[in-house]
Amino acid sequence: EAEVAQSPRYKITEKSQAVAFWCDPISGHATLYWYRQILGQGPELLVQFQDESVVDDSQLPKDRFSAERLKGVDSTLKIQPAELGDSAMYLCASSLWDGGTGSYNEQFFGPGTRLTVL
């Protein structure tokens, strides 16, 4: 069964350092999402890609966060510099493209990367 892959699974870093997370979506899924899940809360969308283009990054803290999906396949989310408040689970999800209708296509989630900032 096809799955969304994420690495690393766990990351511990010190504040002010740079960190990067990688996501490989299910083959053929044109839409890719990065979510942040703070302990005790539900996931919140950070950024959404359609192929290599950003569709929604309204909740991405652009002063320190960046995301790219250069070839429209795998994606990298970077934080520089990391802050204590960035400690969270970072989830990647992918889905088939809805053809621009805005209708629902099931999002498939990876296992996440748990970030701890000391």
Task: Specify the residue, 19 or 93, whose C-beta has the smaller distance to other proteins.
Answer: 93
Question: Which residues of the shown chain bind other proteins in the complex (CB under 8 A)?
Answer: 3-4, 31, 40-45, 48, 56, 91, 93, 98, 102-112
Phi, psi (5° rounding) for residue 15?
Answer: -60, 150
Q: How far is the CB of 74 from other proteins (least distance, A)?
A: 16
Task: Specify the residue, 81 or 107, whose C-beta has the smaller distance to other proteins.
Answer: 107
- Detail the DSSP E strand segments found in the chain: 5-7, 10-13, 19-24, 31-37, 44-50, 53-56, 65-68, 75-79, 88-95, 108-109, 113-117
Task: Specify the residue, 79 or 93, whose C-beta has the smaller distance to other proteins.
Answer: 93
Q: How many CB atoms lie within 10 A of CB 4?
A: 21
Q: How far is the CB of 13 from other proteins (least distance, A)?
A: 20
Q: How far is the CB of 81 from other proteins (least distance, A)?
A: 27
Task: Specify the residue, 1 or 63, whose C-beta has the smaller distance to other proteins.
Answer: 1
Q: How far is the CB of 61 from other proteins (least distance, A)?
A: 18
Q: Which strands, in side-by-side order, build the sheet including 5-7?
A: 5-7, 19-24, 75-79, 65-68
